[in-house]
Structure 1
Amino acid sequence: MSVLPLGRSRTDQELRPQQRRNRRRNLRAALLFISPWILGFLVFTLWPVLYSGYLSLTDYDVINDPNFIGLENYGQMLEDPKIRLALWNTFIYTVFSVPVHIIVSLLLAMLLNRVTGRASGFFRTVFYLPKMTPPVAIGILLLLLFNGQNGLVNGVLGWFGIPGPSWTTDPAWIQPGLIIMSLWTLGASTIILLAALQNVPQELYDSARVDGANSWQTTWRITLPMISGSLFFLTIVNTIAAFQTFTEAYTAYFGSGNSTYSNDAALFYAIYLFQQAFEFLHMGYASAMAWLLFVIVLVVTIIQMVVGRRMVYYEGDGNG
């Protein structure tokens, strides 16, 4: 005769194997449902990443078999002046475009937050629609809007007596033009920040007004801390995207095959990587460049995460 532990019925003891079987059945079902994603990740993401790491150690031109050369590709990058130019252009673009993107998105979100009723849905749609524009079309639109001779931007500046610069030919104005044009796709960031603004408790604003706080003080002390999580998320996402900027600049300045003096100002790292891989067929060198970009983005993201822990407010943890 078996003796059951105190406080435990035979029914509980009999249910345990059944519960374990149910858990295993649920696990198998879950793995079955996500197996297409797992297979796609292994075949189309993990394997290419690992294989590119191997190719970065080889001399490979697609036509012939890879020839193992060790770290020569990485050493060559240290001596390549265009690597430094492309990294510098990409860094400058990221440093300026990300804050501008976040600030303009926040201002638009604060304006949309004041709109109520049916107009709110209409304006949210209007602000998001440009995000659906294909990147190639944005590159062509850049040339049309910022043309130094008859572009719309210089035409508008001319109404106020301001002589417009040569946005697409003057190296000093190419990156400002690209940064301004990048605002065309800020609709997604605006909608995310609008949702964050609408989740800020109204009671906090009411209490602040009772204490005599003005609009600037409520924005600085309440709004920004309460939406800091969304701002932090958008900062990381847009930083990663800025480091990989390619299509718009390539379409506007390299897609036609022209090699004018101004192209160096638009030579971003991803563009130079593409040229090495698919124009010069230096696949091994391009793979090494890709891994360098991965390391740079990883380091920048880790720094942002460390800083974000001190500056981002998460509801419920009491930290700000």
Structure 2
Amino acid sequence: SAFGFIWAVVEKSEAELMKLAKDLHDTLEDKIFINRELEKNNRFLDTLLDTIPIPVYHKDYKGVYLGLNEAFCKAVGRERETIKGRTVADIWHDSTVSWSEKTDQLVYETGRLQKHEGSVLYCDGLHHEVLESKNPLIDAEGRIIGIVGSITDITERKIHESKIRYLAHHDNLTGLHNRHYFYDQLSKAISKGKRSGSKVVLMFIDLDGFKEINDTYGHIAGDATLKSIGSRLQAITRDYDTVCRVGGDEFAFLLEEFVDREAAVSIAGKILKELSKPIPFKDYECSVSGSIGIAIFPQNTVSAEQLVTLADQAMYKAKSLGKDQFYFSEASPVEMSDGNKR
């Protein structure tokens, strides 16, 4: 009958509605489960990131911070929620913003890892040397949608490297430039002199009486003497001159802005005066003098190697004449050239 037909349709619709309701309920349950799992995974990732001791962050294509770890918060001195939603310009000092934005652009242009070393002002008020690494964050369709980065503090490494560079060119005891640096500068000075026609004066200084100090008071007194001499020589060195410790008690002066012989005489006189001053050590006074040999480019020779030889010979000549004095090399470029030929 018509009623039976209608009732059958109603029963069928009711069953479909019940099934739809059940499906909606299952979908809602699934959604709730998925959301809970996502929330759990996010908490896990946040906890995992917070165990990483260096600052780590994630920002979108516009440079807005979306995620970061506790180390990042400590570096900038802010709470996590005050950083999220902000950009580099909002968080870091102006000097950091420029190179950070440049490396961001390189990531987007190349789609590859980018690294940059720079100086960053941390919340402790100090500039830290850092290495920042940035990787592109790519979605399922291959589009770059942001950047994941990390910041490694390399301040200690930089300090160590700086110390190594310093020790490579400086004498550890006196703080003066060392033998390696001396020969490097001498070579450059001679090359410059050949190009410009300028003169270069080399003075070799050997301390008289230094062995007696070591023998009488010991090596500690000897070291104290060398330190004092180094400070005195450095104090009378012009900005464009170089003073080095080239051996045990031997020093070298390299004068690149030499005007005339009288200027060399004046400087040598100052050196002898400083060397003759007593050096206090505990309850004693240590005394030394100096013998100085002087050779001039190009007056004596045009060779850096020969200039060293002539200054050394002149220094021993000063010693033989009674010490505590200076002596100019009397060689000429012609004589040195003839000597090489022989």
Place the TM-score, normalised by the shorter chain, in its bin: under 0.3
> So what's the TM-score if we normalise by structure 1?
0.23
TM-score, normalised with respect to structure 2: 0.22
Higher helix proportion (structure 1 or 2): 1
**Higher relative contact order, structure no. (Cα contacts within 8 Å, ≥ 6 residues apart):** 1
Task: Work out which of the two has the higher radius of gyration on C-alpha atoms and give 1 or 2.
Answer: 2
